[in-house]
Amino acid sequence: MWPLFQKEVSGFFSSITGYVVIIVFLVINGLLVWVFPWNLNIIDGGYSSLAPMFQLSPWILLFLIPAITMKTFSQEKKDGTLDLLFTRPVSKLQIIGAKYFSALFLVFIALMLTLPYYITVILLGDPVGNIDHGATWGSYIGLFLLASAFTSIGIFSSTLSDNIVVAFIIGIFLCAWMYAAFSFVGNLFPMGKMGNILVNMGMDSHYLSLSRGVIDSRDLIYYFGVIALFIALSNTKLSIKR
**Are 195 and 184 within 8 A, CB to CB?**
no
Average pLDDT in the chain: 90
Could you read off the pLDDT of 1-48 as tens digits, one per residue?
778 898 889 888 888 888 998 999 999 999 999 999 888 888 887 788
- Residue 131 in contact with residue 192, Cβ under 8 Å? no
The pTM for the full model equals 0.93
Nearest to 82 by CA among 193, 27, 161: 161
Range of the domain at 206: 2-241
pLDDT tens-digit profile of 47-101? 888 999 999 999 999 999 999 999 999 988 888 888 788 888 888 999 999 999 9
Average pLDDT over residues 200-226: 92
Q: Which residues are CB-neighbours of 75 under 8 A, at least 6 positions away?
A: 164
What are 154-175's pLDDT values in tens digits?
999 999 999 999 999 999 999 9
Q: Considering its fold, how many domains does the chain have in total?
A: 1
The DSSP letter of residue 129 is T
Under 8 Å between Cβ of 98 and 9: no
**Does 118 have pLDDT greater than 90?**
yes
